[in-house]
Structure 1
Amino acid sequence: MAEQLTREQIARAADIHAAPPAVVRNDPVDRTFGLPKKLYMATVGLYLGFIAVLCWGFGNPVMVIPIAICVLIIVAGFGLPTMWTRMKPFTSSKPATWAHFSQRGIATASGHTRSRDASVQVLILPVLILAWGLAFVTIAALV
């Protein structure tokens, strides 16, 4: 059951602080995601390639605004995390180079993953979407 409390009862039971305790972070801030820039660029390129295939296959002046909106969403979807990696507090961490990524791999939720396997995990969806777009345009052209 709910019980109605007065302000005096709440004030007697409450632990009131004048200011919240200060949180001091001594650990370095790393917002690089642990993947090299080439994987992000490949992902963006594959998504934009899908949009380009649809523009090429179904080119129509009426589709300019929807296609522009889709391109802006893709650019914003990858641009915002890029901006997030450069936020304050400034950090000295940099994205992994391809050589470093190839040698060490990356830690994922399911354990340590080799670079080849991580690259496949990152790129499988964009590649499948681009392949779907090519199949869709091919079927539309043949029918």
Structure 2
Amino acid sequence: MTRRIDQGQMLKQADIVASPPLLACVDQSFEMPTAIFATMGTLFFGFLAVMTIGFANPNLAVPMAVNFAFLTAFFGIPVLFVRIPQGGSRALGWSRFMRQGIQTATGHSSGTEAAVLTLLLPLLIFLWAVAITIIAALI
């Protein structure tokens, strides 16, 4: 059932929290330099290229084209967000990123730590594709 709560009672029970920092609302680049995104995109596109070439089959043409289209959108749309003139911000430069680092949910990370953590999974995915393709070619 529902019941009416008066304004005074609601204000007493309300949790008042600070507003989010302005950077979180305005910055669409996630405080990461363009080189990180470019490297990540290259590794993911490399994964798809290795799998497409390694397992070349006419039946896989359409699924691979769809994968490439989704990956292009996945990396293309954030580029559009960063380039928005109203309220948008530019990505951090590489030197500032390495000097300053970034704040993450688990605490502050230096630039090197953030770069390694960000690029580790795409690198492992790419290397997995290379390994699987080599194994399939040898069997």
- 5 Å-filtered alignment, 1:76-87, equals 76-87=73-84
Q: Could you tell me which residue of structure 2 aligns to residue 36 of structure 1?
A: 33
Distance 1:68 1:42, change over 3 A: same
Q: Could you tell me which residue of structure 2 aligns to residue 62 of structure 1?
A: 59
Q: C-alpha separation between the residues in 2 aligned to 1:127 and 1:92?
A: 29
- Give the length in aligned residue pairs: 122
Q: C-alpha separation between the residues in 1 aligned to 2:67 and 2:57?
A: 15
Task: Give the ranges of 4+ consecutive aligned residues of structure 1 lying more than 6 Å apart after TM superposition.
Answer: none
Which whole-Å deviations, capped at 9, do the CAs of 1:44-64 have from their partners, x for residues lacking one? 110000011111211122221
Q: Identify the structure with the greater helix proportion.
A: 2
Runs of 5+ unmatched residues, structure 1:
14-26
| Counterpart residue type for residue 40 of structure 2 | T
- 5 Å-filtered alignment, 1:100-111, equals 100-111=96-107
1:71 has 2:94 as partner? no
Q: TM-score when scaled to structure 2?
A: 0.78
Q: C-alpha separation between the residues in 2 aligned to 1:66 and 1:131?
A: 21
1:45 has 2:47 as partner? no
Q: C-alpha separation between the residues in 2 aligned to 1:34 and 1:133?
A: 29
1:116 has 2:115 as partner? no
| Counterpart residue type for residue 114 of structure 1 | S
| Counterpart residue type for residue 96 of structure 1 | L
Which stretch has the larger CA shift, 66-75 or 54-63?
Answer: 54-63
Q: C-alpha separation between the residues in 2 aligned to 1:125 and 1:92?
A: 28
User: 3-state SS of the aligned residue for 2:123?
Assistant: helix
| RMSD between aligned residues | 2.2
Q: C-alpha separation between the residues in 1 aligned to 2:101 and 2:27?
A: 17
